[in-house]
Structure 1
């Protein structure tokens, strides 16, 4: 069992009670999986309390899925190791293409296949590569050649992806002190900025210690937008603009009219972010 002082100090850790709530596996069962089968190796505090990482939680979810498919818990550890080896071998041979696998599962409405691929990327990839992969797949699905089914494909994709992202957002927000944390109103630049990109932006901000109030419908009336921000007790505004539709006049005026509110702006391109921060007073970020 790992000691707390051997872990990366920036890695989020979660108590067994919260892990149980998020995975549906009760605490007694989690301890049994650890003792009897060596399925998880949680971190120990000096007082002996168990703490779990995001990787542990994804592993527990994968174990639950395998047991639901009829695999005995005594065989789950070996099966997970086999699956990880297969993926590693495929990655080492440069043959595995996460984006193509995810897109293929979506356009074929393959629920089992999509969930298997999502389980894999959430376990295998760091946040940087995870978010980059998700954004790329979302973009490709939006441009899917069969326009008659594009909306259905995107709904199918987001229905399985968003619960995982919201769970990741909850993890990222857990350490934020609610009484002292900054809250920000977050919305897209236009209706085309999907909920997926909004939640990823909220995760990025949570990692910086800021809470987000996510509005999935962008408010284009700046008077009403300010009223929303004021009513929700937010200290700033976050705009997510994946289509690079920056309205310099609008946001320059916004900064001048609301000097007490921070403006945070997410775009896809690092170069655009650099140029943006030179044009107006704002915090500019890449989304991935």
Structure 2
């Protein structure tokens, strides 16, 4: 571990990975899956690489691999994850997060310029999504503002190029919002870019609206033909949105969430799920 690696306490790691603290401790004690850094007081701290390993372990268990066998398989899963996070041996994610936390404008600008130039769209989206989620755990408006001030102009430029081939008169327009107020505008724009590549034009709302009547008014007023919900924090209210789909059969419903293929949202003709 590098001395300047960002470190995260177990409660924040639990929020990022969906694995509760008790389970993380059990995985460490019984199976030796993750070896966190220890403070002098014995508190566990985790690096970005630990977080990616935990996510890889979760995927293996969901594929039916017993937890007792995950450590042996993890060595095969982690390189696959790293291919999405690293370009060669260069760890863009750590560099970007560290530069943001240190408010190092020159380094962050340089890292982002190189990132946008060097990596594929898939890897770019994965890195920026993870960076936004990791920075969000600090609950600092100053950090988030600094981060967004650098990444959003670059993403809006990418979005503009992605929508150049979309006919604004012929394309479907979709109202796009986060599932909850803690959603990142960065992740919303990433979702809009992915949908633009499929021929959709998104109206991005930074303020999520859960009141159905007000939401419907917004959709109609903006001449949208559907709704997109981005579930960044694994809090998708399936019951609520199933009711929305039933009540508004003429509107398409798109949603981004972890493991979207595991969500049965009913009418497949108007519901479209995407893995976040």
TM interval, shorter chain, is 0.5 to 0.7
Give 2:249's aligned residue.
259
2:191 maps to 1:193: no
Matches within 5 A, 1:18-57: none
Alpha-carbon shift at residue 139 of structure 1 (Å): 1.3
Structure 1 residues 230 and 91: CA distance shift in structure 2, 3 A: closer
State the distance in 1 between where 2:169 and 2:267 align.
30
2:125 maps to 1:131: yes
Give 2:166's aligned residue.
176
State the distance in 1 between where 2:267 and 2:237 align.
11
Q: Rg: which structure is higher?
A: 1
- Give a deviation string over 1:121-161, Cα, whole Å, max 9, x none: 000010100010011111111123xx5xx221111011000
State the distance in 1 between where 2:222 and 2:176 align.
11
State the distance in 2 between where 1:263 and 1:165 align.
24
- TM-score after normalising by structure 1: 0.63
State the distance in 2 between where 1:216 and 1:139 align.
16
* Structure 2 SS opposite 1:250: helix
Aligned counterpart in structure 2 of residue 153 of structure 1, from 140, 143, 151:
143
2:273 maps to 1:284: yes
2:233 maps to 1:246: no
- Give a deviation string over 1:217-272, Cα, whole Å, max 9, x none: 011110110111111111100000111112122111111110000000011x23xx
Alpha-carbon shift at residue 277 of structure 1 (Å): 3.6
2:111 maps to 1:117: yes
8 A Cα contact 1:184 1:237, kept in partner: yes
* Structure 1 SS opposite 2:154: helix
2:200 maps to 1:210: yes
- Unmatched 5+ stretches in structure 2: 1-85
2:233 maps to 1:233: no
State the distance in 1 between where 2:244 and 2:163 align.
28
State the distance in 2 between where 1:278 and 1:135 align.
24
- Give a deviation string over 1:193-224, Cα, whole Å, max 9, x none: 11101100100000000000111001111011
8 A Cα contact 1:277 1:284, kept in partner: no
Alpha-carbon shift at residue 279 of structure 1 (Å): 4.8
Alpha-carbon shift at residue 280 of structure 1 (Å): 5.7
Give 1:34's aligned residue.
none
Aligned counterpart in structure 2 of residue 100 of structure 1, from 90, 94, 97:
94
**Which of 191-200 and 275-284 deviates more?**
275-284
Give 2:261's aligned residue.
274
Runs of 4 or more off by more than 3 Å in structure 1? 277-281
Q: How many residues align?
A: 189
Instruction: Please provide the CA RMSD for this pair.
Output: 1.5
8 A Cα contact 2:173 2:201, kept in partner: yes
Structure 1 residues 243 and 91: CA distance shift in structure 2, 3 A: closer
- TM-score after normalising by structure 2: 0.66
8 A Cα contact 2:261 2:275, kept in partner: no
Matches within 5 A, 1:11-22: none
